[in-house]
Amino acid sequence: MEQNNYQGKMQKPLHSGFNAKSTATEVIEGIDLTGKVAIVTGGHTGIGLETTKTLSKAGALVIVAARDTAKAQKNLEGIANVELESLDFMDSDSIDSFAAKFLASGRPLHLLINNAGIMWVPLRRDSRGYESQLVTNYLGQFQLTARLWPALKQANGARVLNVSSYGHQMAPFDFDDPNFLYREYQTLQGYGQSKTACNLFALELDNRAKDFNVRAYSLHPGSVLGTDLGREEPIELFKQIGTHDQDGNLKPEVAALLKTLSQGAATTVWCATSPLLENIGGVYCEDADIAELDLGNIEHKFDEPETIRGVQPYSLDQDNAKRLWDLTERLLGVSFEICE
């Protein structure tokens, strides 16, 4: 019987033995990645940097794709088994150049970790008129994955990870107006639909690619302290959701509940390496396990990070996934054929 995660039918925790406090080092213990090749977009900062360090220490060659290569070079100093390459998701030619250079090396690609992302930004558009969060958080990862498909297939045992977010709960994908051409721009709506798209992409990619021994996953890192993700967020929004006081300072009781960078990278590393996922794909994960389907049974409180969990059924819907794949190919002018 064919297995897939359409409608969330495989979306059940595995009781992995890990939890929200588990670190990247703990989830990879005993796993040797010698001879494996990984690409981590945005692997030079925040949880991306922690992911790079962890995979490198386990023996993998990690290619870090970064927009700001000067910053990346500084942050990656002293880390073994790392190569740095330039990649800007807001520039489709940059994606093609990066992928072409990697394919020309002839190396297989065992792990593609689509980690780069932005959030809480004002309305910006790329040269095609596409909204920046949709481009950076989703369209870029689709194009990159499509271009790198030959190397993923060559690995004969690859995994593709889309670093998504609980933020997918903020909005389903708007098929009528994904680029905010006709509706008022709301930054969290843009972020939410871009992360919903990440989930749908992993769902559909896994179903199409599993016959070639390529599996795909989406994941929520958790509420993490010390990332750059909220650098453009208006402080008033933090106050409204209850995480900051009236002076704009993070409340100590909230800070104490947030994950460290190593805890934030744990789910990425677990999805990339866990033997428990050997015959499972297309699932959305959190806290180093498969997440629970959110059917309205989870009470979410933004000042209690442990309640920020679960996955919305609309982001695991078969029709939505197939429709988004077709739309994405049209938007990008890219044909992503999963074939020999």
The pLDDT tens digits for 243-292 are 657 777 766 666 667 899 999 999 999 999 999 999 999 999 999 999 99
pLDDT value for 2: 60
Q: Is residue 334 part of a domain?
A: no
Return d(Cα 41, Cα 63) in angstroms, integer.
Answer: 8
CATH number at residue 194: 3.40.50.720
Catalytically active residues are 191
Q: Is residue 1 part of a domain?
A: no
Return d(Cα 259, Cα 50) in angstroms, integer.
Answer: 13
Q: Is residue 340 part of a domain?
A: no
Q: Is residue 248 part of a domain?
A: yes
pLDDT value for 1: 44
Structure tokens at 205: 């990619």
How many other C-beta atoms can be found within 10 angstroms of the C-beta atom of residue 64?
Answer: 29
Return d(Cα 284, Cα 271) in angstroms, integer.
Answer: 10
Q: Is residue 338 part of a domain?
A: no
pLDDT value for 251: 65
| CB-neighbour burial class of residue 219 (10 A; exposed 0-12, middle 13-18, buried 19+) | buried
For the chain, list residues with pLDDT below 50: 1
Q: Is residue 21 part of a domain?
A: yes
pLDDT value for 259: 92
- Which structural domain range is residue 292 located in? 6-329
Q: Is residue 336 part of a domain?
A: no
pTM of the entire predicted model: 0.93
Return d(Cα 260, Cα 276) in angstroms, integer.
Answer: 24
pLDDT value for 302: 72
Domain count of the fold of the chain: 1
Count of residues making up the chain = 340
Q: Is residue 335 part of a domain?
A: no
